Amino acid sequence: MNKLLATLISGLFISAAFAQAPVTPATPAVPATPAVVKAEAKAASATAAATTSEAKVDAKADAKVQKAELTAAEKKAAAKTKAAKAKAKARTKVAKAKAADKVTAQAKADTVNVKADAKADTAIVNATAKADKVKVGATADKAAAKIETSAVKAEGKVDVKAAGAVK
């Protein structure tokens, strides 16, 4: 949560600094007419908003990944604990078995051990796969936000250029 808050705050400062930064013309050939100044201001505002939005998307995606990794770790630990309990219970039964039944009890315990390990491994793989799926989705969200920001910047440059061409 601290990372999310820090990212949002830094995005706010970046957008504020960016909005206050002097706007340089897209090309030196564009005269500083009122239309160009207006287009530059509009482009700077849109770019600042897009940058802030991108920072929010990045922070949200990072939070999702962190939550997914935490959930996966909890599921893995729970699966290992459950397997260990099943194995311990099987060992206890072997220890309590009479001498004549020890071989059968040991065979059952070995079967329980194998099944418990298999079940735990399956749970671990599933938890890891789910976390990886969230990571991929977060990466896609970040990439889409970055592309959207780039598109807004490009549109601003085109608007400034078009405002300079209109006389």
Which of 129, 133, 127 is CA-nearest to residue 70? 127
Under the banding of pLDDT at 50, 70 and 90, the label for residue 36 is confident
CA atoms within 13 A on the CB side of 103: 1
Query: In the predicted model, is pLDDT for residue 127 greater than 70?
Result: yes
Both tokens assigned to 23: 């706007």
Domain ranges, residue 34: 2-165
Gap between the Cα atoms of 141 and 107, Å rounded: 51
pTM exceeding the 0.85 threshold for the entire prediction? no
Q: Average the pLDDT over 97-111 and give the result.
A: 91
The string of DSSP letters for 41-70 reads HHHHHHHHHHHHHHHHHHHHHHHHHHHHHH
Under the banding of pLDDT at 50, 70 and 90, the label for residue 162 is confident
Query: For the chain, how many structural domains are there in total?
Result: 1
